[in-house]
């Protein structure tokens, strides 16, 4: 009734663990904060307080909630310190700043992969297309020209509209599979002025599939309410990237930037300051839990990121050398080739993620489950997690009361005494001749 579901039982959520969550003040606070933010935002949309003329993309209250959440998260990261077995320590804020959590790193990695896709497409003589898919008018709360309430609006929230687009894309992908069409590229999700999401897709594919693939996307985009006024003009758009005028990566760069931090973009589509707009877009995506960017096709970025953690590889790991060099030198195109090409299935790729089962318990008494510990290729294992890390709270060193990101004392709630458990259970492993992707038998 309040929008919070009981934990679902799984390999890492036991009956006892579910009970511990349900009696945990921390668990309830986290869930209710999420529900509260969404309810506030949904109410603002219903009251037509989210639009170009009042508060674009996200309500003023929603933006304030997001800013406070970021402050709490940053405070927690700054006071938590990770210490390894060599005595080296870093604050979680420092570690986060070196990861893709940092907007600059996130943008750079996305552009690196997009540029790599484009380079591969040029080698293969593939065409670049830019598709835009928009939701039916009934999902839009506000009229774009006047900001007045849309009489057709049926109360659809942004997350519900996004799920509609996800379902649409699932049907399109299934049709592509049946037709033997294998596009690759990136999807960008961004809000329209009233918070309703729409999709931009930069895809590469052979010239012979251009018309057929575009027709499939258009047909599915207009399947619901396709006869309504303006549907042909606004619901689906396609642009063919003319490489004589500029690169595909350059074309999508502004969409990437204005949805992350507004870097080198002066204003958004509506003439607002790009940096302010990017903060609002980020708040919108956070409140509705919408994934802004997603890769289409190609090798998994998880393998790429794991290989980039390794400074060098030994002679018996030669089978993954090409992929490691490509990842370490930030060459996504070479990485595609090293992994087996665009159409290579996961089971046939040169390098795969390796995981091991970890029985260490979380704060609710459940096992941590499957933990990434490296990569493997044809039975040869390469460890990418070389250290064992433990978390400590700097406020404990100063005799202060340790609190979580919500401001609650860490001593409250179930099993909070395990704050010092390893952040990563991986030690310095030697090369294994077996696949750790299978759960090891218990001793």
Burial call 132-157: b when 16+ CB within 10 Å, e when fewer = bbbbbbebbbbbeeeeeebeebeebb
Q: What is the 3-state secondary structure (H, E, C) of 181-237?
A: CCCEEEEEEEECCCCCEEEEEEEEEEHHHHHHHHHHHHHHHCCCCCCCCCHHHHCEE
d(CA 65, CA 217): 37
d(CA 384, CA 101): 19
Minimal CA–CA distance to 339: which of 371, 302, 372, 296? 302
> 251 catalytic, yes or no?
yes
Rg (CA), the chain: 24
CA–CA distances in Å: residue 135 to residues 138, 157, 401: 8, 12, 49
d(CA 297, CA 352): 16
Q: Tokens 């209710």, residue?
A: 32
Cβ neighbours for 204, distance < 8 A, ≥ 6 positions apart: 117, 118, 120, 121, 126, 127, 128, 129, 183, 184, 185, 248
Helices (H) and strands (E) in the chain, counts: 14, 12
> 429 catalytic, yes or no?
no
Q: Are 181 and 209 in contact (CB under 8 A)?
A: yes
Of the residues 57, 209, 255, 381, only one is catalytic, namely: 255
Cβ neighbours for 71, distance < 8 A, ≥ 6 positions apart: none
Compute how many other C-beta atoms are within 10 angstroms of the C-beta atom of residue 230: 9
Specify the length of the chain in residues. 443
Minimal CA–CA distance to 140: which of 85, 87, 198, 188? 198
Of the residues 153, 209, 251, 381, only one is catalytic, namely: 251
- Which residues are 50's β-sheet partners? none
Cβ neighbours for 433, distance < 8 A, ≥ 6 positions apart: 379, 380, 381
Residues with catalytic annotation? 251, 255
């Amino acid at each position: 009734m309040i929008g919070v579901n009981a934990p679902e039982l799984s390999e890492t959520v036991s009956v006892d663990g579910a009970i511990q969550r349900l009696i945990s003040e921390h668990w309830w606070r986290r869930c209710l904060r999420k529900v509260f933010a969404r309810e506030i935002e949904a109410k603002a949309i219903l009251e037509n307080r989210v639009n170009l003329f009042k508060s674009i993309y996200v309500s003023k209250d929603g933006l304030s909630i997001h800013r406070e959440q970021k402050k709490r998260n940053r405070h927690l990261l700054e006071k938590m310190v990770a210490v390894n077995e060599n005595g080296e320590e870093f604050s979680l804020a420092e570690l986060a700043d070196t990861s893709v959590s940092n907007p600059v790193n996130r943008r750079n990695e996305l552009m690196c992969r997009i540029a790599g896709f484009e380079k591969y497409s040029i080698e293969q003589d593939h065409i670049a297309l830019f598709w835009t898919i928009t939701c039916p008018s009934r999902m839009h709360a506000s009229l774009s020209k006047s900001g007045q309430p849309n009489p057709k609006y049926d109360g659809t929230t942004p997350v519900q509209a996004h799920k509609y687009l996800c379902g649409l894309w699932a049907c399109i992908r299934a049709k592509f599979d049946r037709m033997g069409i294998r596009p690759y590229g990136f999807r960008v999700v961004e809000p329209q002025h009233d918070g309703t999401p729409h999709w931009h897709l930069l895809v590469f594919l052979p010239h012979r599939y251009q018309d057929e693939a575009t027709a499939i996307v258009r047909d599915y985009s207009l399947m619901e309410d396709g006869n309504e006024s303006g549907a042909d003009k606004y619901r689906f758009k396609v642009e063919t990237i003319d490489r004589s005028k500029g690169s595909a990566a350059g074309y999508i760069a502004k969409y990437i930037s204005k949805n992350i931090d507004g870097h080198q973009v002066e204003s958004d589509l509506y003439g607002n300051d790009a940096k302010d707009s990017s903060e609002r877009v980020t708040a919108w995506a956070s409140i509705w839990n919408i994934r802004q960017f997603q890769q289409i096709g190609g090798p998994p970025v998880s393998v790429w990121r794991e290989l980039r953690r390794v400074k060098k590889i030994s002679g018996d790991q030669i089978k993954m050398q090409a992929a490691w060099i490509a990842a370490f030198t930030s060459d996504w195109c070479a990485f595609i080739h090293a992994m087996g090409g665009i159409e290579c299935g996961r089971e046939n790729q040169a390098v795969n993620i390796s995981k091991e089962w970890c029985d260490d318990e979380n704060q609710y008494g459940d096992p941590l489950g499957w933990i990434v510990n490296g990569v493997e290729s044809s039975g040869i294992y390469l460890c990418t997690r070389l250290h064992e890390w433990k978390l400590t709270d700097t406020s404990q060193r100063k005799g202060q009361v340790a609190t979580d990101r919500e401001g609650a004392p860490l001593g409250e709630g179930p099993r909070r005494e395990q704050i010092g458990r390893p952040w990563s259970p991986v030690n310095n492993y030697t090369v294994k001749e077996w696949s750790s992707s299978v759960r090891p038998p218990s001793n």
